[in-house]
Copies of this chain bind each other. A is one copy, B any other.
Amino acid sequence: MNNQASDAPLTLRDVAAAAGVSLATADRVVNGRPGVSAKTARKVHEAVQRLGFRPLAAAAELARARSWRFAVILPGGGNRFMMDIADNIRAQADWFRARRIGVEIVEADVFDADTLAAELATLPGRFDGVALVALDHPRIRAAIDDLVEGGMAVVTLVSDAPSSRRQHYVGIDNIAAGRTAGSLVGRFLGPPRAGEPGGAVGIITGSGSLRDHAERRFGFGQVLAEEYPHLTRLNPVEGRDDPERNRDLVRRMLADTPDLVAIYNTGEGSVGIGEALAEAGLTRKILCVGHELTPATRRMLLDGTFAALVAQDPGHEVRSMARVLHALVAGQEIVAAQEHIRVQVILRDNLP
């Protein structure tokens, strides 16, 4: 175990000297410009390897002397998590500016494929890269492919469109997130008691059309079916991430399902669930697991309405998005390990 000191500031000049070529030639090789014989290029590459040369990030960036414009397309409406994403982008305005990155947040109706596709079509020329909360829909896939075709860097954010040619997805594995929620529900409810039925689990989802929610439902159902077969799963009901709608859905669920023991919400608007339970005097009697840390879910985690949250960190996602887009447009390498977004489990005790 030892050091990786690089006391000698080691510049491209040193590489050129070591390879026995001129600075200009070394520069051509390192930056992949033409007009160098294979033999010479090899000498330079060897010298780079041998000395362990890396261009100084600051100097490279400064010399490149160009700025980038990125668009981030987020769903409009009152979605708290998306507002967190936007807030994080704004909070890092300094970080972006210090790297000559201009970020424009574009609100769009991501649920309407035509609108979103039209919005995407306006981007070329105005932006170097785009991050979008993708609808997994043929029109959107085509629009994304067109952008990539035109040389734009495209990453999906939070909800993926894996069939498109987007270069990267910044977000969590939503099947794993759903499975995690399933395991929490299953374990927290405990093993079935002899002679008692397992009870019913209600599933509230935002919308059928975004891939992330669908994947969560899938993962959740998978785990419950495999490992907690004593639990009955109710059919998912759509609350469109709206608290009031969710409240009504839970009211009805409570009325219709006497043996309800748990509720899983794949999306937003969890506060409506808490309200319906409070009305019925069932707070903390029905196990609740939801997604994303917001002021509302934080409160309900603290008061015990929700037992756990499965979450992704919007700050991490924004930073990852920025790094990835920048690496894509600047032709740098993406360090996959660093860009993996974790599925977090948040209990009352490890609230950030």
Contact = CB atoms under 8 A, between A and B. Distances in A.
A42 B308 CA distance: 50
Given A9-B67, A183-B349, 12 more contacts: A1-B107, A4-B96, A6-B102, A54-B97, A55-B98, A56-B62, A57-B99, A58-B60, A179-B349, A187-B307, A345-B346, A345-B350
What size tier do the contact residues of chain A reach? 35 or more
B62 A349 contact: no
A267 interface: no
Interface in A64-113: 67, 69, 86, 90-91, 93-94, 96-100, 102-105, 107
A255 interface: no
A5 interface: yes
Contacts of A41: none
Contacts of A5: 69, 102-104
A107 B1 CA distance: 8
A173 B210 CA distance: 36
A345 B342 contact: no
A180 B351 CA distance: 9
Interface in A203-218: none
A61 interface: yes
